[in-house]
Amino acid sequence: MPHRVGIVGAGRIGRLHAANIGRRVDRLRAVGVADPDAASAAVLAAELDCRAHEDWRELVARDDVDAVLLCSPSGEHAAQIAACAEAGKHVFCEKPIADELAGADRAVEAAESAGTVLQIGYNRRFDRSFAAVREAVAGGRVGAPVLVRVTSRDPEPAPREVMERIPGLFVDTTSHDLDMVRFVTGQEIVEVTARAGSLVSDDARELGLVDTALTTAVTEAGTLAAIDNCWRSAYGYDQRLEVHGTEGTALAGNELLDTTRVADGAGFHAPPLPHFFLDRYAETYVDELEAFADALEGARVPVSGRDGRAALAAALAAQRSSLEGRVVRLDELVRG
- Concatenate the DSSP letters of all residues of 56-94 into one string: HHHHHH-TT--EEEE-S-GGGHHHHHHHHHHTT-EEEEP
8 near a second copy (CB under 8 A):
no
DSSP classification of residue 304: B
In DSSP terms, 226 is beta-bridged to: 149, 216
Residue 235 or 276 with smaller CB distance to a second copy: 235
Stretch that binds a second copy, among 57-65, 85-93, 162-170, 247-255 (CB under 8 A): 247-255
Closest CA to 183 of 245, 130, 221: 130
Judged by CB under 8 A, the chain residues 81 through 140 that form the site for a second copy are 128-129, 132-133, 136
Residue 1 is a binding residue for a second copy (CB under 8 A): no
208 binds a second copy (CB under 8 A): no
Cis peptide bond N-terminal to 271, omega within 30: no
Can residue 2 be called a binding residue for a second copy (CB under 8 A)?
A: no
Strand duo 145-153 + 224-230: pairing: parallel
Q: Which stretch binds a second copy (CB under 8 A): 7-15, 87-95, 229-237, 291-299?
A: 229-237
Residue 206 CB, nearest approach to a second copy (Å) = 16
CB 100 → a second copy: shortest distance, Å? 25
Indicate which single residue of 29, 188, 271, 290 sits in contact with a second copy (rule: CB under 8 A).
Answer: 271
336 lines the binding site for a second copy (CB under 8 A) = no
Determine the Cα–Cα distance for residues 132 and 217; give it in Å rounded to an integer. Answer: 22
One-letter identity of residue 204: A
Does 205 bind a second copy (CB under 8 A)? Our answer is: no
Q: Check binding of 203 to a second copy (CB under 8 A).
A: no
* DSSP class per residue in 135-193: HHHHTTTT-SEEEEEEEEE-SSPPPHHHHTTS--HIIIIIHHHHHHHHHHH---EEEEE
Site for a second copy in 9-48 (CB under 8 A): 23-24
Q: Tell me the Cα Rg of the chain.
A: 20
Closest approach of a second copy to the CB of residue 257, in Å: 7
Q: Tell me how far apart the alpha carbons of residues 28 and 3 are, in angstroms, rounded to a whole number.
A: 5
Shortest distance in whole angstroms from residue 194 CB to a second copy: 9
* Interatomic CA distance for residues 311 and 315, integer angstroms: 6
CB of 36 to a second copy, least distance (A): 30
Q: Which residues bind a second copy (CB under 8 A)?
A: 23-24, 128-129, 132-133, 136, 141-144, 146-147, 149, 151, 153, 191, 193, 195-197, 199-200, 212-214, 216, 218, 222-226, 228, 230, 232-235, 238, 244, 246-255, 257-272, 325-327
